[in-house]
Amino acid sequence: MSKTLQEIVDANPQAETFRFGDSPELCAEILALVRSGTKTATCEAASAYGNGKDAWPEVGRRDVALNWDGTPAVMIETVEVRKRGFEDMDAEFVAAQGEFRDLAHWRAAYEAYFRRNGGFAPDMMLMCERFCVVEDFG
């Protein structure tokens, strides 16, 4: 029997819930990479956190990544979190994200993503998180 989101949150009251990507297709693509172990890192605009927004990830906290329809997909545990500038991204972290050919591909894809979702600036700050999957609800 699969667990409901409410059962998962009740058992993990500190857990945040979130979706990867900004479309059903991108969400499914990223979740497949997470499930395969190819994707072990992610990033988001630092401005998406705090003051009534999402909580900043914390090492050791477990969060629930959702399918686009809001059902639970996987539980991840944060193993590292850093704040860094967009211009300071490196090829090693990009490789851990599992979605990009190289740093140039990452820069183009994330610039487009940030422009679609609230704005882009070359000097913007990012939340960079490494994680591991602790449970797959699929």
- Domain containing residue 129: 5-136
pLDDT tens profile 103-134: 999 999 999 999 999 899 999 999 999 999 99
CATH number for position 111: 3.10.400.10
- Hey, which residues does 17 pair with through a beta bridge? 64
Rounded CA-CA distance 23/42 in Å is 16
Checking if the pLDDT of 1 tops 70, the result is no
Q: What is the pLDDT of residue 66?
A: 97
DSSP letter for each residue of the chain: -PPPHHHHHHH-TT--EEESSSSHHHHHHHHHHHHHTS--EEEEEGGGBSTTSBPPP-TT-EEEEEPTTS-EEEEEEEEEEEEEEGGG--HHHHHHH-S-SSHHHHHHHHHHHHHHTT---TT-EEEEEEEEEEEE--
Predicted TM-score (pTM) of the model is 0.92
pLDDT tens profile 29-88: 999 999 999 999 999 999 999 888 889 999 999 999 999 999 999 999 999 999 999 999
Domain count, the chain: 1
